[in-house]
């Protein structure tokens, strides 16, 4: 893929302009098998070369190693990037499988300092609360985040996986620039829980993570046995047993429709997400240059109304088998 100008989209009605496709960096350090720092750095370099500006990470990815990776990659090039990171998910260092949520104001203030140090920067462009803390009023958490804006440590604020009601309460304290939630052909929750509509009504940008169904919609995964034993996806219901087999049939439909369109399955799936609204900026994740370039090809794919309807029909919510997280993970979303 040659370097070409990537179109931009605005994060919300009055928000910043960023590349229409961003880059989710989690898999470079966390959750999806072995890390390859050399290839990850090369992928980040290639993304910059091709004009990607929105880079997304979080302190929990690793934990901490993904922020350090981006800090290394962006030395001397920080001004080229709209840098987003997240805080709020905490680990027990002795039992990393146990996660908690911390939205207390004092934790907000301490978390940003760690992220800035690891990222090698004096400010973060977009700072998300990664999950809502049910024990802390959202007004208190966002109030502390707003202090970071006043101090120049953060430019814009975001929430990840909030309910529509929580989003409205947060936005009343300080403008929320972006909401990040899982959204793809096989995860349509934001359409049905009023989050997408609330973002559009309030002029807030919407940033879908896992817009390729954690790689499932690319057609490159045909058996759970292809994933490494420590791959996070193996613990999720959609990648297990009969659910996997049923969902594989859906991925086959994407492959067939992509062939008719003359594009790859990944490009078709991303083109569908992009077509859902101009305020939507997906952040497909990858740790390899070839997939980065393939994903960016989605920006050249235009789906007709009939093609969009066909995809909607195939991926009606009841067609997808299994929850996207374990019961513990599901309890942390939509608060």
Catalytic residue numbers read 61
Place of tokens 């992509």: 258
**Helical H segments across 262-314, by residue range:** 265-274, 289-296, 305-314
Q: How far apart are CA 279 and CA 332, in angstroms?
A: 25
Structure tokens at 252: 């086959």
Cβ-based neighbours of 244, under 8 Å, separated by 6 or more: 223, 224, 238, 321
Cis peptide upstream of residue 63 (ω within 30 degrees of 0)? yes
Burial class (CB in 10 A: 0-12, 13-18, 19+), 98: exposed
Q: CA nearest 164: which of 179, 174, 150?
A: 179
Beta bridge partners of 127: 85, 157
Query: What is the C-alpha to C-alpha distance for residues 139 and 35, in angstroms, rounded to an integer?
Result: 38
């Amino acid at each position: 893929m040659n370097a070409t100008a990537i179109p931009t989209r605005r994060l919300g009605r009055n928000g910043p302009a960023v590349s229409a496709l961003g880059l989710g960096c989690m898999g470079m350090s966390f959750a999806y098998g072995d890390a390859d720092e050399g290839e990850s750095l090369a992928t980040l370099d290639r993304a910059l070369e091709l004009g990607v500006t929105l880079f997304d990470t979080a302190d929990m990815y690793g934990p901490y190693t993904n922020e350090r990776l981006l800090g290394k990659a962006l030395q001397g090039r920080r001004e080229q990037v709209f840098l987003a990171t997240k805080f709020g998910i905490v680990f027990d260092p002795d039992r990393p499988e146990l996660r908690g949520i911390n939205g207390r104001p004092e934790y907000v203030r301490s978390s940003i300092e760690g992220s800035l140090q690891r990222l090698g920067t004096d400010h973060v462009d977009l700072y998300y609360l990664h999950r809502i803390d049910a024990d802390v009023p959202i007004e208190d958490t966002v109030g502390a985040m707003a202090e970071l804006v006043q101090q120049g440590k953060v430019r814009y604020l975001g929430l990840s996986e909030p309910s529509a009601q929580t989003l409205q309460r947060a936005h009343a304290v300080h403008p929320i620039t972006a909401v990040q939630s899982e959204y793809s052909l096989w995860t349509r929750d934001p359409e049905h829980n009023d989050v997408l509509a609330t973002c559009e009504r309030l002029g807030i940008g919407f940033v879908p993570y896992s817009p390729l169904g954690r790689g499932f919609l690319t057609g490159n995964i045909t058996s759970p046995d292809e994933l490494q034993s420590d791959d996070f996806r193996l613990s999720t219901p959609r990648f297990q047993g009969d659910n996997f087999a049923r969902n594989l049939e859906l991925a086959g439909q994407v492959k067939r429709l992509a062939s008719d369109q003359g594009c790859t399955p990944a490009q078709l799936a991303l083109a569908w997400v992009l077509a859902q609204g101009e305020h939507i900026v997906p952040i497909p994740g990858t740790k390899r240059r070839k997939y980065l370039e393939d994903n960016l090809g989605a920006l050249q794919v235009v789906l007709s109304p009939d093609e969009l309807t066909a995809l909607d029909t195939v991926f009606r919510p009841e067609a997808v088998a299994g929850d996207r997280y374990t019961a513990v993970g599901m309890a942390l979303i939509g608060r």
